[in-house]
Structure 1
Amino acid sequence: MNTKFITRTAILLAITLIFQFLKMPQLITGSLVNAMLLIAAGTVGMWSGIIIGLLTPVIAFLVGIMGFPLMIPFIMVGNGLYVILFSTQKNKVIGMIVGAVVKFIWLALSVKYIMQLFNVKVPLKIVQAFTTPQLITALIGGTLGIIVIALLENYFKKAKEQ
């Protein structure tokens, strides 16, 4: 980790947190957060996306945005899987789709079944938030992220040529 990595990751984390603080509907906030995870991974590197994916649920809880702390480790794993699967695929669209599906399956299983193994009663509102909407926001955010990455790559390529 060098200064450039830390600085860029910090800036992208700050932007991601701003999106969370706006407290928009899940469809918008979730999509923007997922986009930022892939933008970080695609422009700074996989570890940047993973770090942001690990920090955002913790910070969301600490500032009162997320009210069900037992989901934090599951969200962290889901975000990590999303970023890793995106980052390790040569075809970024396929990586994003596979990552979105795996994140969705992981979170849906976590909220519906894994929590039950520990006798945790998950409120219906939480179950609903961590099932199908997770797939939708990961796909929308992933699509947006891929577009932004392409635009940034094009911009940086043109800037180098000048």
Structure 2
Amino acid sequence: MISKTNKIVYSSLLLAIGIVFQIIGRNIPQFNQFLVGPIINSILILTAFICGRWWGVGVGTLTPLLAWFVGQLATPLAPFIPFIMIGNILYVLTFSLFIQGNMIKRAIGVILGALIKFVFLTFASTKLIKLVGLSFPPKIAKVLATSMSFPQLITALLGGALALIIIELLRRRRVI
């Protein structure tokens, strides 16, 4: 059992790693989403596994906001941050339902979490924003809808797979 103090330290460390990669990612725009996305998704899964679901939810809530602060998320997309937060929360909570058990169960959690996050962000970026009265210029709306669809599924699956590999390595070394 990890103490509350260690959970704070581990989740803060994982969040800090995420911030570093967000800063790096903003400087490589052509690879930004496919470099930063999997790493952030991996951090969400690792935080939930190591520290618990609510710590994962906390990190998942902070990462989009911090991405905007460091300039990794474009300023015109700032009104969409709450939707990204919700997508991250759905990803973490779905995975958390499958934490206990073997690698196959955790893999199912990653896959289902990635699918739910993908469906939510696709719906939010194409339909929900209109329902809540957000309007983006057509060019921004197109970029938003594109970046919040299949790339989200791919980055969530890749990040989840990376996290599962790291979890297995840590378990074999008896670190966690």
TM-score scaled by structure 2?
A: 0.84
Partner of 1:117: 131
2:159 is aligned with 1:141: yes
Alpha-carbon distance, 1:15 to partner: 0.7
2:97 is aligned with 1:88: yes
Unmatched 5+ stretches in structure 1? none
Q: Distance in 2 between matches of 1:71 and 1:80?
A: 15
Which of 5, 9, 13 is residue 11 of structure 2 equivalent to? Answer: 9
State the one-letter code of the partner of 1:45: G
Within 5 Å, which residues of 2 pair with 1:1-162? 2-23=4-25, 24=28, 25=31, 26-67=33-74, 68-89=77-98, 90=100, 91-122=105-136, 123=140, 124-156=142-174
Q: Deviations over 1:7-47 (max 9, x none)?
A: 11111110111111111421121011101111111122112
Q: Distance in 2 between matches of 1:9 and 1:135?
A: 24
Q: Distance in 2 between matches of 1:113 and 1:121?
A: 11
Q: Distance in 2 between matches of 1:19 and 1:65?
A: 9
Unmatched 5+ stretches in structure 2? none
Q: Distance in 2 between matches of 1:96 and 1:7?
A: 24
Aligned length: 158
Q: Distance in 2 between matches of 1:119 and 1:9?
A: 35
- Is the CA contact 2:23–2:71 (under 8 Å) kept in the aligned structure 1? no
Query: Alignment identity in percent?
Result: 37
Task: List 4+ stretches of structure 1 deviating above 3 A.
Answer: none
Alpha-carbon distance, 1:50 to partner: 1.1
SS at match of 2:135: coil
TM-score scaled by structure 1?
A: 0.91
Alpha-carbon distance, 1:156 to partner: 2.0
